[in-house]
Structure 1
Amino acid sequence: MLRPKKGDELELTIESLAFGGKGVAHLNGYVIFIKGALPDQKVLARLTKRRNGYGEAKLLEILKETPSSATSKCGHFPTCGGCSFQNLDYDAQIEQKKAQVIDIFRRIGCMEKPKLHQVVPAEEIFHYRNKMEFSFSNRRWVLSDEEENAEADFALGLHIPGRYDKILDISTCWIQKPIANEILNTVRNIAKKTGLAPYNIREHSGYLRHLIIRLGEKTDEVMVNIVTSKEERELLEPIVDGIKKVHPRVTSIVNNITRRKAGVSYGEWEVLLYGRPTITDHMGDFTFEISANSFFQTNSIQGEKLYKIARDFAEFRGDEILYDLYCGTGSTSIFMAQQVKQVYGFEVVPPAVEDAVRNAVSNRIINCRFFSANLDKFFRKSSILSEIEPPDIVLLDPPRAGMHPKLVNDVVNMSPEKIVYISCNPSTQARDVALFSENGFELKNLAMVDMFPHTPHIETVALLTHHGKR
């Protein structure tokens, strides 16, 4: 049978969701990915890209709805792109994510019959995020049903998928806390009223760049971070006064300033506008200080479950040396510290290391040491391994890109009994697990924790043990 041609309109039955969220269909043995399509839908789609092994198609019409369809709560869905699956029943979302993890470890991890031993759905599928980042822009995305003369020179919201320069004005985000939606609208109203110029990313002009709202899940403390292109705190006084008046729960307002052209919200320096420079939150029995730019689990309820699974997988005896690679602000190190003899944490971002030290001190944890380290080369260039005890267990929590192959070799050369690998990207995790498997390690346990309902994101925890050290 001939394969379809670019531009062909095709009737397709969606079989599953690929990792990343696109619907998967087959036509005469040819794989086709369709953004926005859901499992068990019958759709009409136009082939837009044709490759040797697969094609991509644009969804034109849903001919038959899936039994697992759901009604989206969000008025911005699906234009926003922040949530991909608000129109899919949550149980079906979990089943698709489970299937994706198993498929990834089979294909990329080179395992014949991978098994997912534990699956932890989210307790709350809405209002679960304790941090959201919004962008200001003078180029608002105008919806197709709006009038021609609709205001388009101010927006505070989220980027349109595939458009770095266009922002969809957001009034309510269903995955952030209700108070964050209230603050979002307060800031928008005051900014527009006072005439503060939103940022133009094309021309690198304008004053207001980003708004980040962070909350302590268990403390109810709130931080508002306003990112601007220059330091002129008097311009922000109306916004600060308005937030203080309307939202007394806000305990911290900071101004991060960045002159960089890149659309990042991390400031070159920070000014405290109101309250304290940090907020606090609890995870387990521990309290953590959270600054504007420090990492903390965005869904801390699910994050605590993730840490408990990692701890349970390790089955600590109490006399182990634990290396925590990519330790961030020390939350995992501190969470594990009472179960082991000593923790050594390694992190590339110096301010995060400072946060880790401070968090250990404030929680009266005395068996943690933290090092600033570029892990891609640290263990080959530094003499640190000759100065500290070798690890019995290595805890890994790398960024989405996973581990550098040389770091995999470094960990293998440390000869730990166990490796506990936390990941926000099962594809790179499976790749790295395959490398460890080539060097004497075996995957013994694999768990999935759904941290971000309605999105394609998946968090997994893997336990590897060494063949000769059981």
Structure 2
Amino acid sequence: MRIKIEKLIYEGWGIGHDENGRAVFVKKSVPGDVLDVKITKEKKSYTEAVIEKIIEPSEKRIDPPCQYFDLCGGCEHQNIAYPDQLKFKEEIFRETLSRTKIETEILPIVQASEPFFYRNSIRFFLVEQKSGKKIFTRHNYLYTDGLVEAESCLLQSVKSNLILSLILEVVNSDRNKSLSGFYQVKIREGKFTDEFMVELMTDDNKLPFELELKTALNQIPEIKSLYHTVTPQRQLRNIRRRLLHGSPIISEKIDKYKFQISPDSFFQTNSLGVKALYDKIKEFAQIEMGDTALDLFCGTGTIGIYLSTLAKEVVGVEVVQSAVNDAKVNARINNIYNCEFIHADVNMWLRNEKIEKYENIKIILDPPRAGLNKELIKKLSNFLSLKNFTNLIYVSCNPATFARDINEFELHGLKLKKVQPLDMFPQTHHLECVGLLQKI
């Protein structure tokens, strides 16, 4: 089937129409492409397809710099120059809000400082071929359970790629020796500290090539933390870790603040873009010295700590106990004493807490990709009846759930005054945004 790609939509799909006017979604396509495509999935109202042949390339299409781009599921847009990626992302964001009839000021998208080499965390899967050769793989974009060979990644640092190459060299030093359950490597990096954490993951207690791996990786002094991590049945529960070398944690900096990262810590994937994101939150929140900042879904406390010098107090609420523990440590190592971090489900905490006791409230929401539920939105909206409530800041990594939730807020008397999209994830479809809501 031959189609012309008309535009990009969210999640990295290009969209065209067949001769009957039926929508056809094609990954890794570029607006203006004329393509022969192969249907992979039929839905009621649309078709999914893959590129078989490029008949006429779009003038916006470029050669992707990564040799694995055509099959790897890590990126969607390396075949589009970065300035054009930004234009397309902003168009998609504006259309997402327009489609849900949200009228607001949309500020021009903030571009990333580095379009490549920005990721501070990445995983690679180890696979043993019939010949005995071991290779690294990433997810194949065509199949959720498929893997494609990829021995490096242009979204992670040169040093991270060096770590991968050393590991491959070790495990291929003996073709007759099996991986025996050694199936994954995870690398975390402090972009502003040049500290690395490496996790060698197995599905049982044995780590093959252990001595050789320790010797090889000790060649890189920036590896401050080396773990053998056991994940039974390759599930991320009942995890056991054994520290093979160095410190149990690494650190990262945002502006003048230092944060510790443990193996389970959540941290924004693009450290290089975090300051721009947090500065926008600060600008929108307009926190003053008499204010209480409620940092809901606070994670490891990075936003609250970043805003702490502006506020009378910061109260962070987070359901993950390990994240709350990290938040408390992060406040302590930065000598921040006006932050309180509470282990609780945000919904339950709001239901039980007498929020009226806090003075001059500013609320920061940074929920998971799934967004908020209606009960929470209603509860937060009701706080607007309080004289001491002013701004609500909504941080989202999912424009679709952001638009859905903003609609719900507006049903309860709030108005999205303005929103700032930020490109924290170049070469991919992902987009961050910060919205300011106030009482109508």
Q: Which residue of 1 aligns with 2:373?
A: 404
Identity %: 31
Structure 1 residue 183 corresponds to structure 2 residue 157: no
Change (3 A) 1:417 1:114: closer
Equivalence map 1:66-465=2 (5 Å): 66-108=58-100, 110-111=101-102, 113-138=103-128, 151=131, 154-163=134-143, 165-193=145-173, 197-198=178-179, 206-232=180-206, 236-245=210-219, 247-262=220-235, 264=236, 268-380=239-351, 383-385=352-354, 389=358, 392-415=361-384, 416-465=389-438
Q: Structure 1 residues 51 and 80, CA, compared in 2 at 3 Å: closer, same or farther?
A: closer
Contact 2:308 2:339 in 1 (8 A): yes
Partner AA of 1:458 in structure 2: L
Amino acid at match of 1:173: C
Counterpart contact for 1:70–1:87, Cα < 8 Å = yes
Q: Look up the SS of the partner of 1:274 in the other structure.
A: strand
CA drift at 1:104: 0.9
CA separation of 1:46 and 1:250: change in aligned 2, threshold 3 A = closer
Deviation at 1:96, TM superposition (A): 0.8
Task: Check conservation: 1:14, 1:37, Cα contact below 8 A.
Answer: yes
Change (3 A) 1:88 1:115: same
List runs of 5+ in structure 2 lacking aligned partners.
none
**Are the equivalent residues in 2 in contact too, given 1:443–1:465 (CA < 8 A)?**
yes
Q: Are the counterparts in 2 of residues 323 and 393 from structure 1 also a CA contact under 8 Å?
A: yes
Question: For each residue in 1:209-236, what CA deviation from the matched residue of structure 2 results, as whole angstroms up to 9, or x when unmatched?
Answer: 3211111111111111112223346852
C-alpha deviation, 1:269, in angstroms? 2.5
Q: What CA distance in whole angstroms lies between the structure 1 residues aligned with 2:151 and 2:21?
A: 44
SS of the residue 2:225 aligns to: strand
Which is worse superposed, 349-358 or 231-240?
231-240
Give the letter for the 1:207 counterpart. G
- What CA distance in whole angstroms lies between the structure 1 residues aligned with 2:6 and 2:327? 45
What is the CA distance between 1:197 and its match in structure 2?
A: 4.0
TM-score, normalised on structure 1? Answer: 0.87
Aligned in 2, Cα 1:388/1:114: closer, same or farther, shift over 3 Å? closer
Name the residue aligned to 1:144: none
Distance 1:209 1:47, change over 3 A: closer
Deviation digits for residues 247-298 of structure 1 (CA, Å, limit 9, x no counterpart): 1221111122211443x4x761222111111111110110001111201111
Q: Deviations over 1:184-214 (max 9, x none)?
A: 111122123356644xxxxxxx421321111
Query: SS of 2:12's equivalent?
Result: coil
**Long gaps (5+) in structure 1:** 1-8, 141-149, 199-205
Partner of 2:51: 59
Aligned with 2:401: secondary structure? helix
SS of the residue corresponding to residue 434 of structure 2 reads: strand
1:29 positional shift: 4.4
In structure 2, what residue type is equivalent to 1:362?
I
**How far, CA to CA, are the matches of 1:255 and 1:423 in structure 2?**
33
- Partner residue, 1:37: 29
Which moved further from structure 2: 429-438 or 389-398?
A: 389-398
Contact 1:155-1:167 at 8 Å conserved across structures: no
Counterpart contact for 2:27–2:76, Cα < 8 Å: no
Change (3 A) 1:164 1:92: closer
Tell me, in whole angstroms, the C-alpha distance in 2 between the residues paired with 1:312 and 1:386.
Answer: 24
Aligned alpha-carbon RMSD (Å): 2.2
Q: Provide the residue aligned with 2:10 in structure 1.
A: 19
Identify if the C-alpha distance between structure 1 residues 419 and 408 changes in structure 2 by more than 3 Å, giving closer, same or farther. same
Range with greater deviation from structure 2 (124-133 or 384-393): 384-393
Give the 3-state SS of the residue equivalent to 1:433 in structure 2: helix
Distance 1:376 1:62 in 2: 50
Corresponding letter in the other structure for 1:79 = L
TM-score with structure 2 setting the length: 0.92
Deviations 1:390-429 (A, max 9, x none): 6611111111111122221222233342111111101001
CA contact (8 A) 2:26 2:51 kept: yes
Task: Report the number of matched residues.
Answer: 434
CA distance 1:291–1:437, change in 2 (3 Å): same
